[in-house]
Amino acid sequence: MKPTLLVLAAGMGSRYGGLKQMDGLGPNGETIIDYSIYDAVQAGFGKVVYIVREYFLEQFKETVARKYSHVTCTDGTPLEFVFVTQELDKIPARFLPLNPERQKPWGTAHAVLMAAEVIKEPFVVINGDDYYGKESFRIAGDWCRAHAQSQGVFAIVGFELDHTLSESGGVSRGICHYDAQQHLTDVVEHLNIIKDADGVVRGDNSVTGEHVDLRGKDLCSMNMWGFTPDYFTKSAAIFESFLEQNSQELKKEFYIPYAIDCMIKDGSAQCDVLSTPSHWFGVTYKEDRPAVVAKFAQLAADGVYPSPLYK
């Protein structure tokens, strides 16, 4: 069984500016998505599904055709690509028409629902503008293969907080709480996380409002999830409940952690917490770009990746 990679690429990245999913950061103009796909193929994935917006769908398709036309899976078969779009009005008809002033999409969990008709196997969700590292894809791919026949069991790949900070400013991270069996119990968002001059990582607990000390080894969510196909049915039902309360709101969004939290609390699913040793990095701010370019150059120089990545 070859798992599928679902790439969330519909966001514009307001703090960074522009389509950062298309920004060439590698030594030969490789994008972060290019590295994610390379790592996924090496980890045994067989299909890539992109979630994009309609207005840049053709640009994405042209780029994919140019870059990946000769990419094959580990078994020698061609890597499959599928494109689906996320738009505001792609919701159950009974909630239309929407408030005409709403401009933002409905969030990451809504984006995942857009792929319900094209994914029938275990799959991994990632952000298109985040670098997750080789080990993360291996861990997630192994989990998918081990749960090919499972239902109601999902997973989150947790990154050590110290491995996710930005040197350009404070970041927001969801800190994972879990029980002795490594089953997720809660994800608590913390804002303005930064390592202070004394070396201690601190941030603002979004629930209590307190400015608290955090541990560098705390596992946090970087939006890398493992799902089996029954996730779609469960999430769709929660989305309808969400829309019953929020369909006319201008900014409320339906996020993956919210959907998973609902499933955990109603007992319809459990979520395994998988720990990765990989270092996350990305372009949260424009100021992050030079450091990311340098990191990819070093990875190429160390032989971790071929250069160019795709020939």
**How confident is the model over 146-158, as pLDDT tens digits?**
999 999 999 999 9
First to last CA, the chain: 27
User: DSSP characters for the chain?
Assistant: ---EEEEE-----TTT-S-GGG---STTS--HHHHHHHHHHHTT--EEEEEE-GGGHHHHHHHHHHHHTT-B-TTSPBPEEEEEE--TT-S-GGGPSPPTT--S---HHHHHHTTTTT--S-EEEEETTEE--HHHHHHHHHHHHHTTT-SSEEEEEEEEGGGS--TTS-EEEEEEEE-TTSBEEEEEEEEEEEE-TTS-EEEEETTT--EEEE-TT-EEEEEEEEE-THHHHHHHHHHHHHHHHHTT-SS----HHHHHHHHHHHTS-EEEEEEE-PPPEE-SSGGGHHHHHHHHHHHHHTTSS-SSS--
- How far from 46 is each of 88, 89, 182, 210, CA to CA, in Å? 29, 30, 28, 44
Which domains can be identified in the chain, with CATH numbers? 4-301 (3.90.550.10)
**8 A C-beta contact, residue 227 and residue 167:** no
Per-residue pLDDT tens listing for the chain (311 residues): 899 999 998 874 333 344 545 678 999 989 899 999 999 999 999 999 999 988 888 888 888 888 888 899 999 999 999 999 999 889 999 989 988 898 888 999 999 999 999 999 999 999 988 999 999 999 999 999 999 999 999 999 999 999 999 888 899 999 999 999 999 999 999 999 999 989 899 999 999 999 999 999 999 999 999 999 999 999 999 999 999 999 999 989 999 999 999 999 999 999 999 999 999 998 877 888 899 999 999 999 999 999 999 87
- How far from 271 is each of 119, 158, 174, 185, CA to CA, in Å? 20, 12, 15, 8
Model pLDDT for residues 182-197, shown as the tens digit of each residue: 999 999 999 999 999 8
For residue 152, the Cα-to-chain-centroid distance in whole angstroms is 20
- How far from 137 is each of 23, 126, 255, 274, CA to CA, in Å? 22, 10, 22, 11
**8 A C-beta contact, residue 169 and residue 156:** no
pLDDT of residue 62: 85
> Smallest Cα–Cα separation from 140: which of 115, 161, 123, 116?
123
- Give the angle subtended at the CA of 253 by the CAs of 249 and 256, to the nearest 5°: 155
Query: Alpha-carbon distance 158 to 147, whole Å?
Result: 18
